[in-house]
Amino acid sequence: MSYYDIDAILTEAERVPATFNHTIPLLGYLDNSPSLKAGTTVPLPLWLAEMLALASAGPSQQHSQESTSFTSLTLPSSLSTSVSQALKADPRAVALRDQSAHFYALGVRMLDLFEEPELGDVLRRTFVTRAGDVVMHARKAGSGTDDALGVGAQGEEFLRGLEEWERQLFRRAHDGAKGRREWMDGVKN
């Protein structure tokens, strides 16, 4: 992953819910209150939330014995149980882009932070199942038979729901098919 990788930067800007373990004065504007109370959940960008969750901040008020971090993280709504249940039922039916434009990248980052082997399984199965469809549409698109995209209304709906990794895959598959088609058209000369 490069420092200037725009997708990595945008992934780190995704919001994840972080619950504060300490009461923090002067940060209340995050929650529209005079001071940020312990136990408040605020959506923070991943790069900030991760730092706060990993850094140690001394003993907390709630559990005065052990030293805790500033915040504790939970899975973002795009990776919640309901989404993973829907993906388990039918990976094609979910518009991943509505959940997060960097769904898989975010999922991989969260898997690094959380011990969730089942979520990893769901992500992998979703990715390969959808990849099959992405490639099929990429091969058909632009061959110019029935309609403009050549994928039909349902296919268009599906393609609109692709997130970034899948869009990249679509582009690569389409480039391959296009190269082959152009060669076939030019073979007569």
Partner 1 sequence: MALPLPPGLLPSEVNFLCEMELVTVVPRQRLDPIELLSGKTPALRPPYRADIPLWLALLLKKQRRANIVPPPWLHPSSLGEIVHHETHVDPGAFSAPPPVPSRADPSNPGTARVPVYGDAAMTLSPPFVPSNTSSAPANLLPYHWFEMSEVLLAHAGDDIPASGEVRRLVRDLQEVRAAKMREGMVSLGSGGGVTNLKGVGGMELAEGRGFILGVVDGVRRIGAGAEVSRREEEEEQELHGRAGGGRGDEEEDEEDDDDDEDMGF
The candidate with the shortest Cα–Cα distance to 21, out of 41, 7, 50, is: 41
Which of residues 5, 90, 98, 121 is near partner 1 by CB under 8 A?
A: 121
Which of residues 34, 61, 128, 157 is near partner 1 by CB under 8 A?
A: 128
d(CA 142, CA 92): 22
| Helix 164-186 × helix 117-140 angle, to 10° | 30
Which of residues 124, 143, 146, 160 is near partner 1 by CB under 8 A?
A: 124
Which of residues 38, 125, 146, 152 is near partner 1 by CB under 8 A?
A: 125
Secondary structure in 3-state letters for 25-69: CCCHHHCCCCCECCCCEEEEEHHHHHHHHHCEEEECCCCCCCEEE
Question: Hey, what are 170's tokens?
Answer: 């679509």
For residue 24, give the 3-state DSSP assignment.
Answer: strand
What is the β-pairing status of strands 67-69 and 56-59? antiparallel
Phi, psi (deg, nearest 5) at residue 76: -65, 160
**C-beta closer to partner 1: residue 57 or 114:** 114
**C-beta closer to partner 1: residue 70 or 170:** 170
Q: Work out how close the CB of 156 gets to partner 1 at its nearest, in angstroms, rounded to a whole number.
A: 20
Does the footprint of partner 1 cover residue 161 (CB under 8 A)? Answer: no
CB 21 within 8 A of CB 70: yes
Which of residues 19, 23, 72, 129 is near partner 1 by CB under 8 A?
A: 129
**C-beta closer to partner 1: residue 8 or 27:** 8
Per-residue binding string, partner 1, 8-47, x by CB under 8 A, is ----------------------------------------
**C-beta closer to partner 1: residue 63 or 172:** 172
User: Which residues are near partner 1 by CB under 8 A?
Assistant: 104, 107-108, 111-112, 115, 117, 120-121, 123-125, 127-129, 131-132, 135-136, 138-139, 165, 168-169, 172-173, 175-177, 179-180, 182-184, 187-188
